[in-house]
Structure 1
Amino acid sequence: MIARDLAEPYPHVTTDDQAVDAVRLLAEHDLAALLVLERDGTPYAVVPGSQLVRQLVPEYVMEDPLLAAVIDDRHADSLTEALAGKTVAQWIPARAFKPAFVGPEAGALQIAALMARTHVPLVAVIDRDDDGRRLVGVVSAASLMRHLLDVGGQG
């Protein structure tokens, strides 16, 4: 099966969207990773949710995990203050996760290899035409596993 057939709709944000809106999208849709596109539809980053959570944890807590035990939910508002007024591009980790993407004709094994190499649970399927780039959808690790189980007769 090819990428066009495996691709499913997936919520995404652009680099210009507000960081707080990206967090809401991730939370409301229970997403494993955040898909970020540039304004023209070019994939910008795919950031696992765990790395976005990391962006909310203050550096001093990362350096001394014992502090996390004494800071409770009453201080949660201070964790999200870092989002205020920032765009997605300004907020996501400095070592942004390069987007994994393929064309619509890529095969399942090609997608699996890319996913394994990049350590990101999403591969965007991008179609290019005279008008530019268009997100066809996303192949998630879960949907790829379902497909591979079905093809292998284990589904």
Structure 2
Amino acid sequence: MHAEQMAEEFPAVAVDSDALDAVRLLATNRLPGIVVTEPDGCPHAVLPASQVVRFLVPPYVRDDPSLAGVLDESMADRIADKLAGKTVRSLLPDEPAELPKVATDDTIVEVAAVMARLRCPLVAVMDGKTIRGVITASRLLELALASH
């Protein structure tokens, strides 16, 4: 099976889109991540949901998780306020990561290798500069297990 056959339609957001709207899209659809595109529609990056969670947790709590227990619920209620006025670009790491992408004719093993190497929950299936769809890790596992 080739990547083009495994790919599914998947929402994408532009780098300059509203961060809160993008996170709502992730949360509402329970997505493992989302493809982030340049204004011309070319894929720029993948924003994993785990990166958004990392953005929301204050650095001092990331450094010492025991401090999370001292934060009250009102702090938790305001956590989404950190997204107000931000763009998707501000949620991406400062150092641009390699775009998790595969070619339309890549095999299931090649797709799995890219996901494993980049530790990314999804990859963009590319035909040149055009995105043909996305393969999520759960979709990949579903297909890998289908024969058993």
TM-score of the two chains, using structure 2 as the length reference: 0.88
Q: Deviation at 1:4?
A: 1.1
Q: Could you give the per-residue CA deviations for residues 5-28 of structure 1, whole angstroms, max 9, x where no partner exists?
A: 110011221101011111101100
Q: How does 1:8-19 map to 2 (within 5 A)?
A: 8-19=8-19
- Aligned counterpart, 2:139: 143
Identity rate, percent: 44
Deviation at 1:44, TM superposition (A): 1.6
SS at match of 2:90: helix
Shift of 1:134: 2.7
Alpha-carbon distance in 2 for matches of 1:105, 1:64 = 45
Instruction: Give the count of matched residue pairs.
Output: 148
**Alpha-carbon distance in structure 1 between the residues aligned to 2:62 and 2:84:** 21
Task: Provide the residue aligned with 1:57 in structure 2.
Answer: 57
**Native 8 Å contact 1:124 1:135 kept in 2:** yes
Map 1:119-138 → 2, pairs under 5 A? 119-128=119-128, 133-138=129-134
Root-mean-square deviation (CA, aligned residues, Å) is: 1.7
Q: How far apart, CA to CA, are the structure 2 residues paired with 1:4 and 1:16?
A: 28
Is the 1:47–1:97 Cα contact (8 Å) retained in structure 2? no
Distance change in 2, residues 1:93/1:125 (3 Å) = same
Structure 2: stretches of 5+ with no match in the other structure:
none
Query: What's the CA shift string for 1:99-122, capped at 9, x where partnerless?
Result: 211222222221111111111111
User: Greater CA deviation, 58-67 or 84-93?
Assistant: 58-67
Q: Is the 8 A contact 2:51 2:91 kept in 1?
A: no
- Tell me, in whole angstroms, the C-alpha distance in 1 between the residues paired with 2:99 and 2:88: 15
C-alpha distance in 1, partners of 2:2/2:87?
A: 34
Runs of 4+ aligned structure 1 residues displaced above 3 Å come to: none
In the alignment, what sits opposite 2:86? 86
The letter for the 2-side match of 1:148 is A
What per-residue deviation string (whole Å, max 9, x for no partner) do you get for residues 54-96 of structure 1? 1001112223323211213212343223212121112323244
